[in-house]
């Protein structure tokens, strides 16, 4: 560390004017760093607001395309689609996830045709489709890891064939990246990127998301702690990331985001691989509600995302992507 002393060094000099602060800023945030998650549903209404997520909606396909056009006009180049499935289509095996004309596959096909320049990220997991709300097959009260892999392979293949550019397995089953990568390779889909939810914690910040996709009612008081990570652990995250890289992950992700920036920094420092962070529904809703109530200044959202970048995140999934992009462009 340089030995700097006062008054020869006055660190406030570079903070005196806004253009100086921008000039020497160590961390930059642009629309290239932002990914917009979008909830979709087979519904008659164009869009329905999600009560626990201020300003966020479930969209039908028509509304999805309108929303995507607005995102593109604001410089957002990547979206992640998440389905809210009709309860009548859910069952214990999540078999609707394997239907080639389900809402996600239809959305991917439509987006590919209408917005070929947009990067489409598809979640690989069973929880939106199961009647018990878990990410895997529930057999005799336990999640069967290896039988779940067989379904995830099929789901990943269907999503890739429908037009997904990036598959994002979020289930946290052991071996799922290798299983999906092998299936893609054997079917000639060698250019599909795998964005692994490598460090996904069993967090209480997911509540509004589960409301949005309709899995909170099915999961009830159930727990995902047998496959999602203990939030007390950091070293375990490094082991998870190492395994996923070895199995064929191109990008890894930490979820949740803001409360786990030590994990982001550790992963980026250790592996030097593209590392994304997901500012999840609970994190977004806490900040947005506080902004709407006047309890916090609106810049707190930008601050939270800048902190993710400073920790080492290469990109951020955030429900505030369109809002922040508009601010960055103004």
CATH architecture of the domain with range 27-329: Alpha-Beta Barrel (3.20)
Report the relative pairing of strands 142-143 and 138-139 from DSSP bridges: antiparallel
**Number of C-alpha atoms within 13 angstroms, CB side, residue 79?**
27
Q: Give 162-196 pLDDT, tens digit per residue.
A: 999 999 999 999 999 999 999 999 999 999 999 99
At residue 213, the pLDDT reads 82
262 vs 241: CA distance, rounded Å: 14
DSSP H helices, 163-206, are: 176-186
Contact 204, 258 (CB under 8 A): no
Instruction: Note the pLDDT of residue 215.
Output: 66
pTM of the model: 0.94
Burial class (CB in 10 A: 0-12, 13-18, 19+), 3: exposed
State yes or no: is 255 an active-site residue.
yes
- Cα–Cα distance for residue pair 259/283, rounded to 1 Å: 9
115-150 pLDDT, tens digit each: 999 999 999 999 999 999 999 999 999 999 999 999
- 265 burial type by CB count under 10 A (0-12 exposed, 13-18 middle, 19+ buried): middle
By the 8 A CB rule, do 94 and 79 touch?
Answer: no
Looking at 47, 90, 200, 309, which residue is catalytic? 200
The pair of three-digit structure tokens given for residue 246, joined into one six-digit string: 């070895």
Tell me which DSSP letter residue 234 carries: S
Tokens linked to 27: 């961390």
Q: How much is the pLDDT for 221?
A: 66
Kindly give the parts of the chain with pLDDT less than 70.
215-221
Q: Using DSSP, how many helices (H) and how many strands (E) does the chain show?
A: 12, 12
**Given 47, 255, 309, 322, the catalytic residue:** 255
- What letter does residue 95 receive in the DSSP assignment? G
Per-residue DSSP letters for 263-318?
Answer: HHHHHHHHH-S-EEEEE-HHHHHHHHHHHHTTSS-THHHHHHHHHHHHHT-SEEEE
How far out from the chain centre does Cα 191 lie? 20
Q: Is 28 a catalytic residue?
A: no
């Amino acid at each position: 560390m340089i030995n700097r002393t006062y008054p020869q060094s006055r660190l406030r000099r570079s903070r005196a004017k806004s253009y100086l602060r921008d000039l020497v800023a160590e961390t930059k945030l642009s629309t290239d760093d932002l990914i917009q998650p979008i909830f979709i549903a087979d519904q008659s209404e164009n869009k329905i607001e999600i009560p626990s997520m201020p300003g966020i909606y479930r969209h039908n396909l028509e509304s999805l395309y309108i929303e995507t056009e607005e995102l593109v006009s604001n410089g957002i180049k990547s979206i992640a689609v998440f389905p809210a499935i009709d309860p009548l289509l859910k069952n214990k095996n999540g078999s609707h996830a394997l239907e080639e004309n389900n809402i996600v596959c239809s959305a991917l096909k439509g987006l590919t045709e209408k917005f070929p320049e947009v990067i489409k990220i598809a979640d690989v997991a069973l929880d939106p489709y199961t009647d018990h709300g878990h990410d895997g097959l529930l057999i005799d009260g336990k999640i069967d890891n290896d039988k779940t892999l067989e379904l995830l392979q099929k789901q990943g293949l269907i999503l890739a064939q429908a037009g997904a550019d990036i598959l994002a397995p979020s289930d946290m089953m052991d071996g799922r990246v290798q299983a999906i990568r092998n299936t893609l390779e054997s079917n000639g889909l060698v250019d599909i990127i795998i964005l692994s939810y490598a460090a996904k914690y069993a967090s209480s910040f997911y509540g509004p998301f589960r409301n949005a996709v309709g899995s909170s009612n099915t999961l009830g008081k159930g727990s995902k702690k047998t496959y999602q990570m203990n939030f007390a652990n950091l070293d375990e995250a490094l082991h998870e990331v190492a395994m996923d890289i070895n199995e064929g992950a191109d990008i890894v992700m930490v979820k949740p985001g803001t409360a786990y920036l030590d994990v982001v920094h550790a992963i980026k420092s250790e592996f030097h691989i593209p590392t994304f962070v997901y500012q999840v529904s609970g994190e977004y809703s806490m900040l947005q509600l506080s902004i709407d109530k006047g309890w916090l200044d609106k810049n707190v959202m930008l601050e939270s995302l800048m902190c993710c970048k400073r920790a080492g995140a290469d990109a951020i999934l955030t429900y505030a992507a369109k809002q922040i992009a508009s601010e960055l462009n103004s």
